[in-house]
Amino acid sequence: MKYYFLGLCLLIGSYATAQEPSTLAKPNYQLAAKYSPAKLSKMIFSTEVNPNWINFGDKFWYEYNSPKGKKWYLVDPKTRKKSELFDHAEMASRITSIVKNPFDAQHLDIRNLRFMENENLIRFEVQSTKDTVKTKEEIKKLTNKNDTLKKKLFYFEYNLSNKNLRELSEDSKDKSRLFWANFNPDTTKVFYAKDYNLYWMDYANFQKAQKDEKDSTIVEHQITTDGVQYYAWGGDEYSSTTGDKKSLDEEKKKRKPVWINWSPNGRYFTLTRKDNRELSALWVINNVAAQRPTLETYKYLMPGELDSTETELHIFDASTLKSRQVPVAAFKNQTISSWNADRNKNSYKGKHYINYWLGNDEEFYIARSSRDLKRIDILAVNVATGQPRTVIEERSNVYLDVKKPYLINNGNQLIHWSQRDGWGHFYLYNKNGALVNQITNGAYHCDELSSYNEATGTLYFKANGLEKNIDPYYSFFYSVNKNGGNVKLLTPGNFDHQVTSSESGNYFIDNFSRVNTAPVSNLYNGNGQLVMKLEETDLSNLLASGYKFPEPFTVKAGDGITDLYGVMYKPFDFDSTKTYPIIEYVYPGPQTEAVNKSFGRSMDRIDRLAQMGFIVVSVGNRGGHPSRSKWYHTYGYGNLRDYGLEDKKVVAEQLANRYSFIDINRVGITGHSGGGFMSTAAMLVYPDFFKVAVSGAGNHENNIYNRWWSERHHGVKEVVNAKGDTTFSYQIQKNTELAKNLKGHLLLVTGDIDNNVHPANTIRMVDALIRANKRFDFLLLPGQRHAFGDMTEYFFWRMADYFSQHLLGASAMNEVDIMEMNREKPMGK
The segment with the largest mean pLDDT, out of 335-349, 419-433, 598-612, is: 419-433
Between residues 603 and 25, the one the model is more confident about:
25
User: What is the CATH number for 463?
Assistant: 2.120.10.30
One domain for residues 645 and 760? yes
Pairwise CA distance, residues 411 & 496, whole Å: 34
Alpha-helical regions (H) of 759-828: 760-771, 792-803, 819-822
Residue 533 domain flag: yes
- Other Cβ atoms within 10 Å of 826 Cβ, number: 8
Contact 463, 478 (CB under 8 A): yes
pLDDT for position 134? 74
Query: Where residue 594 falls among pLDDT bands split at 50, 70, 90?
Result: confident
What percent of the chain clears pLDDT 70, i.e. is strictly above it? 94
Contact 286, 337 (CB under 8 A): no
One domain for residues 672 and 750? yes
CA-to-CA separations, 46 to 67, 70, 115, 321, 390, in angstroms, rounded: 10, 9, 22, 49, 47
Considering 512, 538, 564, which residue would you say is the last residue of a domain?
538
Contact 368, 394 (CB under 8 A): no
One domain for residues 586 and 623? yes
User: What is the CATH number for 34?
Assistant: 3.40.50.1820
One domain for residues 532 and 571? no
How far out from the chain centre does Cα 807 lie?
Answer: 33
pLDDT for position 22? 56
Torsion of CA 283, 285, 289, 293, to 10 degrees: 120
Q: Any idea what the Cα angle at residue 142 is, between residues 141 and 143, rounded to 5°?
A: 120
pLDDT in tens, 681-713: 999 999 999 999 999 999 999 999 999 999 999
pLDDT in tens, 466-475: 999 999 999 9
- Environment class of 250 (CB within 10 Å of its CB; exposed 0-12, middle 13-18, buried 19+): exposed
CA-to-CA separations, 679 to 197, 606, 641, 651, 673, in angstroms, rounded: 45, 15, 11, 15, 10
Helix axes 645-658, 674-685, angle to 10 degrees: 70
Q: Any idea what the Cα angle at residue 180 is, between residues 177 and 185, rounded to 5°?
A: 80
Residue 769 domain flag: yes
Query: Where residue 346 falls among pLDDT bands split at 50, 70, 90?
Result: confident
- Closest alpha carbon to 666 in 815, 807, 462: 807
- Closest alpha carbon to 516 in 570, 472, 463, 589: 570
One domain for residues 752 and 604? yes
Pairwise CA distance, residues 178 & 213, whole Å: 9
One domain for residues 29 and 71? no
pLDDT in tens, 50-78: 999 999 999 999 999 999 999 999 999 99
pLDDT in tens, 493-503: 999 999 999 98
Residue 315 domain flag: no
One domain for residues 503 and 574? no
> How many domains does one find in the chain?
3
pLDDT for position 137? 66
Pairwise CA distance, residues 528 & 478, whole Å: 9
Q: What is the mean pLDDT of residues 735-760?
A: 97
What are the DSSP E strand ranges found in 134-243?
A: 149-159, 165-168, 182-183, 189-194, 197-202, 221-222, 240-242
One domain for residues 534 and 559? no
- Closest alpha carbon to 563 in 551, 553, 578, 571: 553
- Closest alpha carbon to 545 in 61, 67, 92: 67
Considering 140, 172, 204, which residue would you say is the last residue of a domain?
172
Query: Where residue 139 falls among pLDDT bands split at 50, 70, 90?
Result: low
Please state the pTM of the whole predicted model: 0.92
Q: Any idea what the Cα angle at residue 802 is, between residues 801 and 806, rounded to 5°?
A: 115
Query: Where residue 308 falls among pLDDT bands split at 50, 70, 90?
Result: confident
Range with lowest mean pLDDT among 118-122, 319-323, 809-813, 818-822: 809-813
φ, ψ at 728 (rounded to 5°): -130, 135
Contact 229, 279 (CB under 8 A): no
Pairwise CA distance, residues 271 & 336, whole Å: 11
Contact 462, 499 (CB under 8 A): yes
The DSSP string of 678-727 is HHHHHHHHSTTT--EEEEES----TTSS-HHHHHHHH--EEEE-TT--EE
What percent of the chain clears pLDDT 90, i.e. is strictly above it? 82
Range with lowest mean pLDDT among 125-139, 342-356, 404-418, 803-817: 125-139
CA-to-CA separations, 209 to 137, 432, 570, in angstroms, rounded: 10, 45, 56
Q: What is the mean pLDDT of residues 519-523?
A: 98
Amino acid at 212: D
Residue 62 domain flag: yes
Residue 787 domain flag: yes
Q: Is the pLDDT of residue 349 over 80?
A: yes
One domain for residues 605 and 512? no
Query: Where residue 600 falls among pLDDT bands split at 50, 70, 90?
Result: confident
DSSP-derived secondary structure letter, 359? B
One domain for residues 815 and 674? yes
3-state secondary structure 319-350: CCCCEEECCCCCCCCCEEEECECCCCHHHEEC
Query: Where residue 141 falls among pLDDT bands split at 50, 70, 90?
Result: low
pLDDT for position 555? 98
Question: Which residue range is the domain that position 643 belongs to?
Answer: 22-43+548-705+739-822
Considering 172, 197, 226, which residue would you say is the last residue of a domain?
172
pLDDT in tens, 362-385: 999 999 999 999 999 999 999 999
pLDDT for position 604? 65
One domain for residues 685 and 777? yes
Residue 141 domain flag: yes
Residue 532 domain flag: yes
pLDDT for position 143? 62
Q: Is the pLDDT of residue 16 over 50?
A: no
Between residues 809 and 249, the one the model is more confident about:
809
CA atoms within 13 A on the CB side of 764: 20
Beta bridge partners of 718: 728
Cis peptide bond N-terminal to 590, omega within 30: yes
290-296, Cβ contacts within 8 angstroms, sequence gap of 24 or more: 294/242, 294/243, 295/242, 295/243, 296/240, 296/241, 296/242, 296/753, 296/755
One domain for residues 570 and 510? no
Residue 484 domain flag: yes
Pairwise CA distance, residues 365 & 106, whole Å: 50
Q: Is the pLDDT of residue 240 over 70?
A: no
